[in-house]
Amino acid sequence: MATLKEQQRYYDKITSGKTIKYTPKKVKSLHTDIYTFDPLESKHILKYYNSKNRKASSSQAGKYAKDMRCDNWLVTGQSITFTQDGVLQDGQHRLLASVESGMPLTTVVVYGVEDRAFAVTDSGKVRTNGEILAMLGYDNSNELSALVRSIIAYEMGASPDMRTGRRFDGANSITKSELVEYVQHNESVVDYIAPYRKNQLVGASIASFCYWMFSETHSVKEAEDYLDKVLLGLHIEPNTIESYLFSKLQRNRNAHQNKMTKMALVSNIILGWRRHKGYSKSNVMQLNWDIRRGLPNPCKK
């Protein structure tokens, strides 16, 4: 998370340089328009009429800017609002995104909002990615959201986030629009959720991601043969890598402390897959990530 100084430096950088003058209307009753802000007008508002907002979040503005550059930004009923004195009350991150992306911002604009309304602006609960997918009719929406975010980060060449051990670097920068677009263009991805969703050893997002990865790189049958053994304990033979890994995951599940992180679980399942596919035992417990693809490099046979 950015510090206050980093946030301020970001804001100062965004608002530096020339602007195009834009003067918000000063009215005593509500007045509504639809207006397209030039990026330099957005900068002018941020520079001269934004005295009451919280510190800006560069990551939030960056997500919006990404959608604007990719033409994923939609005009909704959410407005840019100004008080009766012409001070920006809501919308600084959208204006920041317009400046950062260099793209115009078409939006509803509301003038004449009372100052005291600031206390309840944005106080509603923000919809999660899972809730958005559920509204679009997708089952197991939370698990689907986690899977798709991992896939997108993986395909973008992200490496594991070793600071947290939980996710791929960049997974949190994936916008809601990107996530929805990916699901709508790759609807078969939903098929990777159900088969191992209720396994008792790892979370559904881990199981579905490994299922997707092995199916994409080899075949669905091979992936299911392996995961049936290590996650469900089906058709497992003693003294095999599958039986070893199944026991290890069981011990982790029953442990009261020092449980493996999500990334450690993924790593162990991938390492077991290497052995399952007949790769060399050398360096079997060392996971080397291909920076270009975000994938573990297979050990040489």
Residue 163 lies in a domain: yes
**Is there a single domain that holds both residue 82 and residue 143?**
no
Last residue of a domain, one of 120, 148, 170: 120
Q: What is the mean pLDDT of residues 165-191?
A: 78
Whole-model pTM? 0.62
Q: What angle do CA 238, 240, 241 make, to 5 degrees?
A: 140
Q: How confident is the model at residue 164 (pLDDT cuts 50, 70, 90)?
A: low
**Is there a single domain that holds both residue 150 and residue 284?**
yes
**Is there a single domain that holds both residue 113 and residue 163?**
no
Q: 176: domain range? A: 129-296
Last residue of a domain, one of 64, 85, 120: 120
Q: How confident is the model at residue 233 (pLDDT cuts 50, 70, 90)?
A: very high
Last residue of a domain, one of 120, 143, 175: 120
Q: Which amino acid is at 24?
A: P
Does 286 have pLDDT greater than 50? Answer: no
**Is there a single domain that holds both residue 178 and residue 46?**
no
b/e per residue 277-292 (b: at least 16 CB within 10 A): eebeeeeeeebebeee
218, two tokens: 């080899």
Determine the pLDDT at residue 166: 53
Among positive and negative, which fits the CA dihedral 191, 192, 195, 200?
Answer: negative
**Is there a single domain that holds both residue 115 and residue 136?**
no
Q: What is the pLDDT of residues 18-57, one digit of tens each?
A: 999 999 999 988 999 999 999 999 999 999 998 877 778 8
Q: What is the pLDDT of residues 74-99, one digit of tens each?
A: 887 788 999 999 999 889 999 999 99
Residues 152 and 178 sit within 8 Å (Cβ to Cβ): yes
**Is there a single domain that holds both residue 42 and residue 101?**
yes
The DSSP secondary-structure symbol of 107 reads: E
**Backbone phi, then psi, for 113, in 5-degree steps?**
-75, 140
Residues 36 and 118 sit within 8 Å (Cβ to Cβ): no
Residue 301 lies in a domain: no
Q: What is the pLDDT of residues 135-160, one digit of tens each?
A: 788 889 899 998 998 888 777 766 55
